[in-house]
Structure 1
Amino acid sequence: MSAPPALEVRDLAVEFATDRGILRAVDGVSFAVAPGRTLAIVGESGCGKSVTALAIMGLLPPHARVSGSIRLAGREIATLAPEERRKMRGAEMAMVFQEPMTSLNPAFTAGEQVAEALRLHQGLSRREAFARAVEMLAHVRIPDAARRARQYPHQLSGGMRQRVMIAMALACRPRLLIADEPTTALDVTVQAQILALIDELKRETGTAVVLITHDLGVVADHAEDVAVMYAGRIAERAPAAALFAVPQHPYTVGLLGAAPRLGRAAGGRLASIEGAVPDMARPPPGCRFAPRCPFRIARCAEEAPPLAEVAPGHASACWRAPLERILEAAA
């Protein structure tokens, strides 16, 4: 009998009550991540990527209404009491946020903040935890880790602060790491170092990684599997190689077409996806991408397509998938 996925999400929905009515930010999202693999969740801002991550971690505000199943190593955690969920954060699942300067506590040193998780979840003494924290900072390639461990966040560079966040997240060797735009505001060189570090630690520990990003170049280099989100739903889900080779949803086609590439004709304009993301308080009927889709048919505006398999391991929520003939005609 095979081991369960590190993370399995089924029919996840998240609603918020607003002055304009119920806003369904996540609507029936399902995916799984195996140990030692990276699933990238991509899509435009506002599509529900970060809300999905916060729902998994149990970090949404109390007024959010969450339904569906979230299983960590086979254990249902969506229905756990808040205190039980809190005990799991840092020990069995951890998250690296977009901006480490607002995530780290300015009143404590880097070493103290890494050591806190070790004291809380592993019962180490203050001295033992700090020593382990220094080891973790060295492990994430922070030079002169013993000295840096005694410095405060404002004394560290952006890249170092992000490495501290990764050290905090991985200190207890969690089963799941969620990285939400972990290289935002970092220069390209540091970005590459941070992503390579996450890959290396994933291989060493077998941790499953959910990488939330809008950068398709990052996805191509660092993810084995991809889920493309649009307006709170998954539009396409596939192994990364298959998604880049034969995209099966018009939204994915649009995202790939809008990505800058070497070799593009000088002065050539990037492709764009016309229109805007729909109002999630009043989403359109049928396929939510239909108002922006160049391949839409009458059915698309009337009936929402299910996420269905169009090739082994490759699913698309499009009435016209598989898209090969359409794309050939449009070329």
Structure 2
Amino acid sequence: MSASALEVRDLAVTFATERGPLRVLDGISFSLPAGRTVALVGESGCGKSVASLAVMGLLPPSAKVAGTIRLEGREIAELPPEERRRIRGAEMAMIFQEPMTSLNPAFTAGEQVAEALRLHQGLDRARAHAAAVAMLEAVRIPEAARRARQYPHQLSGGMRQRVMIAMALACRPRVLIADEPTTALDVTVQAQILALLDELRGGTGTAVLLITHDLGVVADHADEVVVMYAGRVAESGPAAQVLAMPQHPYTVGLLGAAPRLDGPRGTRLATVEGTVPDLANPPEGCRFKTRCPFRIAVCDTVPALREIAPGHRAACHRAPLDQILEAA
């Protein structure tokens, strides 16, 4: 196993709201080994993006962050804002969901990539521009020198996403967070972007935290997976093992709701009944119990995230679920 580039332990995030304190993350833990991809998975509202913003130090002042965040063994959660800014872009970087709103419309693509190089590596404008063009070439943008002079609105969605990747990788960070990096892109461009991330990770040894709701992407591109539900970790482990032998009812539900090409024609997709609970008033015990077909009385108590198989953990009182799933 590679050394951990990023170690997150007992991460909790609470927002100050008009209704009082709102805890949206509750004890999230995961490790991100160097040169590997870990996927955070879950439906909208489960806390994936909040976790990534907390790691990057980009949450608003109304957020209170607790827990441990170690970057290559160094604790960074309590660093002053100025030191966190020096780390962002240089040692850690993030690809945001929608490049059209994340890129500055008033600056060219080349200027936006070059900014990180000037800020973190002290390059002058000429050298930073040349390095920016080289980065645009590295992310497979054709005619990179010409595209570097264009503004975001002059680029396609796929090219804008590649510019975001070039910005994130310009200073060769040790950790790259990709938050839904293929949102709103067609399937062909999605495949190209994900393949590019795999290629760049392999070439630089960068650790990738991939945030997605697409289990097909997890199966093809992730080494490890962390399944989140209502601000907590429901299940985690090697991606192939979790997808083949899920040990939490929520993971089972997500897999059942995924469309398959090899199923009988006309087969209806399974659904996860109900909705994500209101985190201002979450249910006691297991937060998935109101939607769980396997719930029993003990589900009124909080399940521990315990090891079911080597490296494979699930927060379910009834795990392992093998016999239950066979009977169902």
Using the size of structure 1 for normalisation, the TM-score is 0.98
**Distance (whole Å) between structure 1 residues aligned to residue 143 and residue 295 of structure 2:** 57
Give the alignment partner of residue 309 of structure 1, picking from 307, 310, 313. Answer: 307
**Distance (whole Å) between structure 2 residues aligned to residue 164 and residue 128 of structure 1:** 18
**Distance (whole Å) between structure 1 residues aligned to residue 324 and residue 29 of structure 2:** 27
| Structure-1 residue corresponding to 2:325 | 327
For structure 1, the 5+ residue unaligned runs are none
Quote the sequence identity (%). Answer: 76
Residue aligned with 1:36, SS: coil
Aligned length: 328
8 A Cα contact 1:4 1:74, kept in partner: no
Residue aligned with 2:220, SS: helix
Q: Deviations over 1:106-151 (max 9, x none)?
A: 1110001000000111111100000000000000000000000000
Residue aligned with 1:70, SS: strand
Output aligned runs, 1:157-306, within 5 Å.
157-301=156-300, 303-306=301-304
**Distance (whole Å) between structure 1 residues aligned to residue 2 and residue 195 of structure 2:** 27
1:22 shift after superposition: 1.7
| Structure-2 residue corresponding to 1:91 | 90
**Distance (whole Å) between structure 1 residues aligned to residue 211 and residue 27 of structure 2:** 18
Residue aligned with 2:43, SS: coil
**Distance (whole Å) between structure 1 residues aligned to residue 149 and residue 76 of structure 2:** 36
**Distance (whole Å) between structure 1 residues aligned to residue 22 and residue 113 of structure 2:** 36
**Distance (whole Å) between structure 2 residues aligned to residue 17 and residue 269 of structure 1:** 42
| Structure-2 residue corresponding to 1:43 | 42
1:70 shift after superposition: 0.3
1:20 shift after superposition: 2.2
Residue aligned with 2:247, SS: coil
| Structure-2 residue corresponding to 1:18 | 17
**Distance change >3 Å, CA 3–CA 217, structure 1 → 2:** closer
1:305 shift after superposition: 0.4
8 A Cα contact 1:27 1:232, kept in partner: yes
For structure 2, the 5+ residue unaligned runs are none
Q: Deviations over 1:169-215 (max 9, x none)?
A: 00000000000000000000000000000000000000000000000
Residue aligned with 1:71, SS: strand
Letter in 2 for 1:100: P
Letter in 2 for 1:78: A
Q: Deviations over 1:42-61 (max 9, x none)?
A: 00100000000000000000
Letter in 1 for 2:93: A
Q: What RMSD, in angstroms, separates the aligned Cα atoms of the two structures?
A: 0.9
Output aligned runs, 1:10-159, within 5 Å.
10-159=9-158
The worse-fitting range, judged by mean Cα deviation, of 94-103 and 262-271 is: 262-271
Q: Deviations over 1:235-293 (max 9, x none)?
A: 00010110111101000000000000012222221000011100001110000001100
Q: Where does structure 1 differ by over 6 angstroms across 4 or more consecutive aligned residues?
A: none
1:3 shift after superposition: 7.0
